[in-house]
Amino acid sequence: MSGPVLSIKDLAVSFRSRQGAVNAVRGVDLEVMPGETLAIVGESGCGKSVTMRTVMGLLPAHADVRSGDIDFRGEKVLQQNTAQRNRWRGSRVGMIFQDPLSAMNPTMRIGDQIAEPLRVHRGLSRQAAQAKAVELLEKVGVRDAATRARQYPNAFSGGMLQRAMIAMALACEPELLIADEPTTALDVTVQVQVLSLMKALQQTSGMAIVLITHDLGIVASMADRVAVMYAGQVVEYGPVDQVFRDSLHPYTRALRNALPGMHTGASHLPSIAGQPPDLRRDIAGCAFAPRCQYAMTACHQQAPMRQVIADDQQHGVCCWLHDEACEAGRVYRGERT
Amino acid sequence: MMRFIAGRVLYGVFTLWFLATATFFAMHAVPGDPLASEKAVSPEIRRNLEARYGLDKPLLTQYGIFIGNMLQGDFGISFTQKNRSVNDIIREHFPISAQLGVLALLWATFGGVVFGAVTAYYRNRWPDYVSVVAVIICISVPGFVFAALAQLAIIGLNEAVGKDVLPVAGWEAGSFRHMLVPSLVLGLGTLAYLTRLMRSSMLEIMDADFVRTAKAKGLATTRIFWQHQLRNAILPVVTVLGPAIAGITTGGFVVEQVFAIPGLGRYFVQAVQQLDYTVIMGTTVFYGAFLIFLVMLVDILYGLIDPRIRLAPEKLRQKGGPV
């Protein structure tokens, strides 16, 4: 089973709005390899969630997929209707969401919600599915699982509920788990527990994880590879240590520098000057150029092509500074050592 | 749960006492009395009659006697209908009103939920627009207009078919044919209102996070509807069922009148016109008790559907007080 589990090519998604089309995703290429954890990072509105929701067919009615191709193990996702998607959704690909309290049905018992995919996809009987649900709850570290399975979401804490969510998403042992900011709504201590649970479950099952987050600390501790998104595009991707150590894109560098360190006082929180671009307009050139301290004339005129840094073909960036012919880029590239 | 029910019962008894007392004194404050409508009688006969009905006693004494009899379940004898006790009137005519009302409520609830869900799915397309117009008509046109129109339609139908498919008016115990059209007319306004309520509630639920989760689980649309959307969307409908029942039972009078159905509503209204004290008190207290009981049922039903409501009092107790 070599080759990527999921591959996304040139995906473009826009939303219809009164003020015109909002181009939320503007040409995303991504690949997820079996068993790996790929983190997608970027600030709010950069298109990271929209990209993965497109994969799952969870876009709202006013969204249009403009172009692109999504391939999950031979399933041509964008050409499929709901019934065809439901053959793999929830069974071969699981998804968990940001706020577990609103993402669970408040009027349905936890056990029934976990058992549901087993009944639908595996055709298990009610009893068998219930038994499996209790087993799954135990596996994700919910104590007294048999009692807890009969409770409703309102009886659960946020952390416990996210564990139940994970149990539900993993009920059918998927090859891929998409986690959309799974810990954003949780306490910091609970975050660590939930993340290490995901890691542990990945090690036993060998599933791939796509982790959507804006927390670079989570990326560093969880992910094998990272894709940095900005204004609907992947601007840099590669193995986590390489991307963090040798950040190629000025945006990645700025993000890294914006992390408050131990020695930063509370009075000074570094930030990136300016705002992300208005996605309703056509963007000529590089989307980050207006905020980029290294921006050149070319950056404002023409969008940069993807450059793969030659050593291992793993680490790529979309930035003119890394163009062979770029004079200023030599200085920029020389800066990083 | 038992504590919850016991609390509601106590509350209901208090409400009922308040209702009875307020009605009693308001009724006696109205000029005239039940005997005023009788033909001119000599003062002597009048005194005899007053003594027979206890009207010669001070008002507070009368109130005490009334409450005492009410507690024993006795509402006395009607002033205007000779030799009929109020209990007899209720026993005889309420089941007719109740059958009509329950059937109307069934139409309203099922129709409202189904039409509401359907129009939500067809949001901003023609079935939705058609329903908006229909709802506005059904809510704003008074029931007796629909009742008359329905009778016209029945006559037309019977003539077209050449035999009596449906009765134009009248009542036969246990005959569904006689109940069908009146109950539909009676439930129409509530049905329209519930349709609108269900539609907006359904639209909200369709965008809910947990529905998105259900889609991500790969569930079929029909399963998502039955398992995830319906139960949550129906909550606001259940909330207004209490007032809806009140509307249907009290609104039954007009429909009963047009279709010549011998329900309790007619006696209720006639009694007020004739100041038939015992019948006014009897029907008011009875209707009141009936409504309080139904509203309580709705509250319990609500708790069964939504676990958050059921748990609330327990949570309060655990935390040792209101939060």
Can you give the pLDDT at residue A329? 76
Quick check: A60 and B207 CB within 8 A? yes
Query: Where residue B315 falls among pLDDT bands split at 50, 70, 90?
Result: very low
Distance from CA of B231 to the nearest CA of A (A): 7
Of the listed ranges A193-207, B207-221, B250-264, the least confidently predicted one is: B250-264
DSSP run (H or E) holding B120 = helix B86-121
Residues A211 and A225: their CA atoms lie apart, in Å, by 10
Can you give the pLDDT at residue A212? 96
Residues A283-295 have pLDDT tens digits of 888 999 999 988 8
What are the tokens at B287? 């209707």
Whether B311 and chain A come into contact, CB under 8 Å, resolves to yes
Residues A273 and A286: their CA atoms lie apart, in Å, by 16
Identify from B121, B217, B227, B228 which residue to disrupt to test chain A contact, counting A C-beta atoms within 10 A and taking the largest count: B217
N-term to C-term CA, chain A: 38
**Phi and psi, residue A213, nearest 5°:** -160, 165
Closest CA to B288 of B21, B1, B6: B21
Residues A224-237 have pLDDT tens digits of 999 999 999 999 99
Q: Which residues of B touch A129 (CB under 8 A)?
A: none
Does the structure show a pLDDT above 90 at A174?
Answer: yes
Can you give the pLDDT at residue B7? 83
Query: Where residue B297 falls among pLDDT bands split at 50, 70, 90?
Result: confident
Q: Which residues of A touch B219 (CB under 8 A)?
A: 86, 90, 116-117, 120
What are the tokens at A141? 């570290």
Burial A163-183 (b: 16+ CB within 10 A, else e): bbbbbbbbbbebbbbbbbbbb
Residues A211 and A194: their CA atoms lie apart, in Å, by 13
Q: CB-hemisphere CA count at 13 Å for A199?
A: 14
Can you give the pLDDT at residue B148? 92
Residues A265-289 have pLDDT tens digits of 666 677 888 888 889 888 888 999 9
- For chain A, the domains span 100-171, 253-262+269-335
**Phi and psi, residue A292, nearest 5°:** -95, 125
More confident residue, A109 or A308: A109
Does the structure show a pLDDT above 80 at A262?
Answer: no
Give mean pLDDT, residues B276-288.
89
Distance from CA of B172 to the nearest CA of A (A): 43
Query: Where residue B247 falls among pLDDT bands split at 50, 70, 90?
Result: confident
Can you give the pLDDT at residue A128? 96
Mean pLDDT, rounded, of chain B: 86
The strand pair at A306-308 and A316-318 is best described as: antiparallel
Give mean pLDDT, residues B163-183.
87
Q: Which of A85, A88, A97 sits opposite B213 (nearest CB)?
A: A97
More confident residue, A174 or B309: A174
Residue pair A141/A160 in contact (Cβ under 8 Å)? The answer is no
**Helix (H), strand (E), coil (C) string for chain A:** CCCCCEEEEEEEEEECCCCCCEEEEEEEEEEECCCCEEEEECCCCCCHHHHHHHHHCCCCCCEEEEEEEEEECCEEHHHCCHHHHCCCECCCEEEECCCHHHHCCCCCCHHHHHHHHHHHHCCCCHHHHHHHHHHHHHHCCCCCHHHHHCCCHHHCCHHHHHHHHHHHHCCCCCCEEEEECCCCCCCHHHHHHHHHHHHHHHHHHCCEEEEEECCHHHHHHHCCEEEEEECCEEEEEEEHHHHHHCCCCHHHHHHHHCCCCCCCCCCCCCCCCCCCCCCCCCCCCCCCHHHCCCCCHHHHHCCCCEEECCCCCCCEEECHHHCCCCHHHHHHHHHCC
Of the listed ranges A217-221, B163-167, B200-204, the least confidently predicted one is: B163-167
If you ran DSSP here, which 8-state letter would residue B228 be given? I
Q: Which of A87, A106, A169 sits opposite B232 (nearest CB)?
A: A106
In DSSP terms, A308 is beta-bridged to: A316
Distance from CA of A2 to the nearest CA of B (A): 26
CA distances from B288 to A61, A208, B292 (A): 48, 64, 6
Question: Three-class SS of residue B81?
Answer: coil
Quick check: A102 and B227 CB within 8 A? no
Residues A105 and A270: their CA atoms lie apart, in Å, by 40
Quick check: A120 and B223 CB within 8 A? yes
Distance from CA of B304 to the nearest CA of A (A): 10
Give mean pLDDT, residues A150-157.
93
Does the structure show a pLDDT above 70 at B201?
Answer: yes
What are the tokens at B152? 């016209």
What interface predicted TM-score (ipTM) does this complex get?
0.89
In DSSP terms, B6 is beta-bridged to: none
Does the structure show a pLDDT above 70 at B320?
Answer: no
Quick check: B208 and A121 CB within 8 A? no
Cα-only R_g, chain B = 24
The strand pair at A306-308 and A6-15 is best described as: unpaired
Can you give the pLDDT at residue B75? 87
Query: Where residue B319 falls among pLDDT bands split at 50, 70, 90?
Result: very low
Whether B123 and chain A come into contact, CB under 8 Å, resolves to no
Can you give the pLDDT at residue A219? 93
Sheet holding A75-76, edge to edge: A22-32, A6-15, A63-72, A75-76
Q: At what angle do helices B235-258 and B176-206 cross, to 10 degrees?
A: 150
Quick check: B207 and A85 CB within 8 A? no
How much of chain B exceeds pLDDT 70, in percent? 93
The strand pair at A176-180 and A93-96 is best described as: parallel
Residue pair B105/B94 in contact (Cβ under 8 Å)? The answer is no
More confident residue, B4 or A23: A23
Does the structure show a pLDDT above 60 at A1?
Answer: no
Q: Which residues of A touch B307 (CB under 8 A)?
A: 106-107, 152, 154
Does the structure show a pLDDT above 60 at B96?
Answer: yes
Does the structure show a pLDDT above 80 at A121?
Answer: yes
CA distances from B84 to B20, B76, B77, B266 (A): 21, 9, 6, 16
Could you tell me which chain A residue has the CA closest to the CA of B230? A107
The strand pair at A75-76 and A37-41 is best described as: unpaired
CATH class of the structural domain B86-318: mainly alpha
Does the structure show a pLDDT above 50 at A337?
Answer: no
Quick check: B213 and A104 CB within 8 A? yes
Question: Three-class SS of residue B218?
Answer: coil
Could you tell me which chain B residue has the CA closest to the CA of A85? B218
Give mean pLDDT, residues A101-115.
94
Residues A3-60 have pLDDT tens digits of 899 999 999 999 999 988 999 999 999 999 999 999 999 988 899 999 999 999 999 9
Give mean pLDDT, residues B176-198.
92
Can you give the pLDDT at residue B316? 43
Query: Where residue B149 falls among pLDDT bands split at 50, 70, 90?
Result: very high
N-term to C-term CA, chain B: 20
**Phi and psi, residue A328, nearest 5°:** -65, -30
Closest CA to A8 of A62, A102, A75: A75
In DSSP terms, A228 is beta-bridged to: A41, A236
Q: Which of B210, B216, B221 sits opposite A58 (nearest CB)?
A: B216
Can you give the pLDDT at residue B109? 93
Residues B30-46 have pLDDT tens digits of 887 777 756 667 788 88
Query: Where residue B323 falls among pLDDT bands split at 50, 70, 90?
Result: very low
Mean pLDDT, rounded, of chain A: 90
Question: Three-class SS of residue B275?
Answer: coil
Residues A163 and A153: their CA atoms lie apart, in Å, by 12
CB contacts < 8 A, A to B, total 83
Identify from B206, B207, B210, B211 which residue to disrupt to test chain A contact, counting A C-beta atoms within 10 A and taking the largest count: B210
Can you give the pLDDT at residue B318? 45
Give mean pLDDT, residues B87-108.
90
Residues B61 and B66: their CA atoms lie apart, in Å, by 9
State the amino acid at position B275 in one-letter form.
L
